[in-house]
Structure 1
Amino acid sequence: MTIPTGRHAVAADTAKADGVYEWLSARLSLYLRRAPETIDPTVPLAEYGMDSVAALSLCGDLEEEFGLDVEPTLLWDFPTVTSLVRHLTAVLPDAPADAVPVRDPR
């Protein structure tokens, strides 16, 4: 197993975060019935109308898409897109940098 170091590790983490951000933005836009670009990643999702039913559905989507075991409180523990992307990026296994789309998660 090769562990990326230095600049390559940052690029891999950024690419992974970008892919998670893209996927999450698309999913949230469906649940919130908003265009992805209208969702400020620093605003709590509850302010956009994210309710418990949608939050549980998103948890199920995360489990299915990424193979994670997700607690139902995930969106309350990480209430913004930014905090959720950081958390997911930290818990997801590394993937090849070219396997995810690129977008700034800030």
Structure 2
Amino acid sequence: MSQSTPETTKKQSYTAEEIQAWLVSHIAEQLGVESKDIDVSQPLDSYGLESAQAMFLVSKAEKLFGFELSPILLWHYPTIETLSQRLAEESKASQSEIFEI
């Protein structure tokens, strides 16, 4: 059976701002802090985000965006700002099943 995706069933794309808001909300929730306390230009590891929490976040993002994310994504794009920009690019271009860096 063919896995081609007709234009009418194309996945929704998200802007960097929408992705950034989603990431801030979910990271704040995981860390037990207020969203306003998250600085999108600071490295995620400065908040003490552990590997298990990062993988949980990646898993939730995969469900939202509808494509697979590389497990090392957070290390290549270490801030919410850079990560959201990269995910927005991939969201717009998402034709494949696997996110490549």
| Counterpart residue identity of residue 51, structure 1 | E
Residue 93 of structure 1 deviates from its aligned partner by 2.5
| Counterpart residue identity of residue 47, structure 1 | S
Task: Provide the rounded CA distance (Å) in 2 between the counterparts of 1:31 and 1:45.
Answer: 12
Residue of structure 1 equivalent to 2:43:
44
Task: Provide the rounded CA distance (Å) in 2 between the counterparts of 1:79 and 1:29.
Answer: 16
Residue of structure 1 equivalent to 2:98:
none
**Greater RCO, 1 or 2 (C-alpha within 8 Å, sep 6+):** 1
Residue of structure 2 equivalent to 1:56:
55
Q: Counterpart of 2:15 in 1: which secondary structure?
A: helix
TM-score under structure 1 length normalisation: 0.70
> What is the count of residue pairs matched by the alignment?
82
Residue of structure 1 equivalent to 2:74:
75
Where in structure 2 are there 5+ consecutive unaligned residues? 1-6, 8-12, 94-101
Task: Provide the rounded CA distance (Å) in 1 between the counterparts of 2:31 and 2:72.
Answer: 18
Q: Which runs of 4+ in 1 moved over 3 A?
A: none
Where in structure 1 are there 5+ consecutive unaligned residues? 2-12, 95-106
Contact 2:41–2:80, Cα closer than 8 Å, also in 1: yes
Residue of structure 2 equivalent to 1:31:
30
Task: Provide the rounded CA distance (Å) in 2 between the counterparts of 1:23 and 1:42.
Answer: 15
Q: How does 1:81-100 map to 2 (within 5 A)?
A: 81-93=80-92
TM-score under structure 2 length normalisation: 0.73
Q: Counterpart of 1:93 in 2: which secondary structure?
A: helix
Residue 25 of structure 1 deviates from its aligned partner by 1.1
